[in-house]
Amino acid sequence: MREQRSHRWPETNAQPVSASATRMWAQVMAPSTLEDLLVRMREWPPDVVVHEEGEYAAPVAAARAGIPWVTYGWGSPVRSASELAEIEDLASALWKSCGREVPPGAGLYAYALVNPCPPMLQDRPPGASVVWPIRPRPLERRGPVAKADAYIGFGTVPSHANARSQLTAAVRACTSRGLRVVVTAPSEQLRRELAELDERLVEAREFVSLPSLLLSCKVVISHAGAGTVLASLAAGVPMVLMPRGTPSQLRMADACHQTGVGRRCDLADLDAALDEVINDPAIAAAASKVARQIAELPDAPSVVPLIESLTGDRAE
């Protein structure tokens, strides 16, 4: 997909990720996805389609089949009204390829939004008239239980997760303050390098189960990915956020900073941000408040009947 983006729009090679991410998903990935999706839906006609918010082919396929669709949010604050207008423009050709005019916001919220983003981070998602909150549930895996004062991780996508300079700086910042660190990275070589920074205080892993680890953590340093942020907030752990440039990360980092559950920073500001997060009781209190809010959100089974209600008599 990146190769096609680079070939079709070479000017984007010199631009930040945030400048071309939506265009790439809407005009490179979505058209190819739509072809396969239409075939599968003819083979196995569904009553309703549930898709994630960055998948723009599903609403088109569902509209063509005459069935409802539901968008599942990533967990970061959803797009602003201006960003929805941009998606509408970028997805226009996709809708016209099926003989339809593009609806407002590319149809993302035409029926409903299932939203795991805590209301404290975004109270009213723009463009969504029907919103069904849902409690985010972090992925858990069995394995050795880790304990640390700080967790450092930049997700699982290699281009983000193997952020050598950011991870190295974060590990050094934590160990210089005597904090025990668990850090994750896909690259085995990078994990060795990070562990060697302080063999007494640093444990480097490919993957760690966050729910168990976060019970002992005082701080999380991450790229502001929704999975890491929501797991941290569910445990009431304040954060230092260093977004890697994707629009959802930028929205999440800004929302957390403004809500007071963490601090957004770059490499130059990392030490100051870390000191503020681990020493300011107001930041810890704000993170605990969001944790209580997350715990009160509806669980997944309670949202299923809401989705089923859209099917009318089809599912009978």
> For residues 145 and 217, what is the distance between their CA atoms, to the nearest angstrom?
13
Tokens 């209301």 sit at which residue?
119
Report the half-sphere exposure of 167 (CA within 13 A, side-chain side): 30
73-127 pLDDT, tens digit per residue, is: 999 999 999 999 999 999 999 999 999 999 999 999 999 999 999 999 998 899 9
β-strand partners of 86: none
pTM of this structure: 0.90
Q: Is the pLDDT of residue 22 over 90?
A: no
Instruction: Please report the pLDDT score of residue 23 as a whole number.
Output: 75
Three-state SS at 240: strand
100-to-53, 97, 148, 261 alpha-carbon distances in Å: 20, 7, 54, 43
First to last CA, the chain: 40
**What's the mean per-residue pLDDT of the chain?**
91
Any alpha helices (H) in the chain, and if so which ranges? Answer: 2-8, 17-24, 30-43, 57-65, 81-90, 92-96, 158-161, 164-175, 188-196, 210-213, 226-234, 247-259, 270-279, 281-295, 300-308
User: In terms of Cα–Cα distance, which of 226, 247, 224 is closest to 72?
Assistant: 226
Instruction: Please report the pLDDT score of residue 168 as a whole number.
Output: 98
Structural domains of the chain, with CATH: 2-136+299-311 (3.40.50.2000), 150-295 (3.40.50.2000)
Contacts of 142 (CB under 8 A, 6+ apart): 209
Instruction: Please report the pLDDT score of residue 123 as a whole number.
Output: 87
220-243 pLDDT, tens digit per residue, is: 999 999 999 999 999 999 999 999
